Amino acid sequence: DAKTTQPNSMESNEEEPVHLPCNHSTISGTDYIHWYRQLPSQGPEYVIHGLTSNVNNRMASLAIAEDRKSSTLILHRATLRDAAVYYCILSSTGSARQLTFGSGTQLTVLP
């Protein structure tokens, strides 16, 4: 299975944009890029996903590199409630084993 690489931790100031990177150099053509986040002692929560084009929703934006070997989750204005572990995940139509999680990035938002 293709894997992802994320920084262990990042910090951001409140009300500033946050760019969370993810490398997936072995991504296949059928792999979707998903992002989830997890608050302490809770189950993960879906954030956004995409295949090739950049995506926007009410929570965030997903910027996907042209070669698809990396992507960036963008939180436009970080709030204290955005402090969480963010997971970048690849999910393929060709694989029954979907949603394989790595260690993620711990985002700290400073007031």
Partner 1 sequence: DGGITQSPKYLFRKEGQNVTLSCEQNLNHDAMYWYRQDPGQGLRLIYYSQIVNDFQKGDIAEGYSVSREKKESFPLTVTSAQKNPTAFYLCASSIQAKVNTEAFFGQGTRLTVV
> Nearer to partner 1 by C-beta: 36 or 70?
36
Do 78 and 14 form a contact (C-beta atoms < 8 A)? yes
CB of 72 or CB of 95, closer to partner 1: 95
- Rounded CA gap, 111 and 90, in Å? 32
For residue 90, the SS3 value is strand
- Compute the least distance from the CB of residue 2 to partner 1, in Å: 14
Smallest gap from residue 45 Cβ to partner 1 (A): 7
Alpha carbon 30 to its chain centroid, in Å, reads 18
Measured CA to CA, the distance from residue 71 to residue 19 in angstroms comes to 10
* Least Cβ distance, residue 72 to partner 1 (angstroms): 19
Which residues neighbour 87 within 8 Å (Cβ) at sequence distance 6 or greater? 6, 35, 36, 37, 38, 44, 101, 102, 104
Closest CB 54 distance from partner 1, rounded Å: 15
Residues engaged in binding partner 1 (CB under 8 A): 32, 34, 36, 41-46, 49, 51, 85, 87, 91-93, 96-104
Closest CB to partner 1 among residues 60, 104 = 104
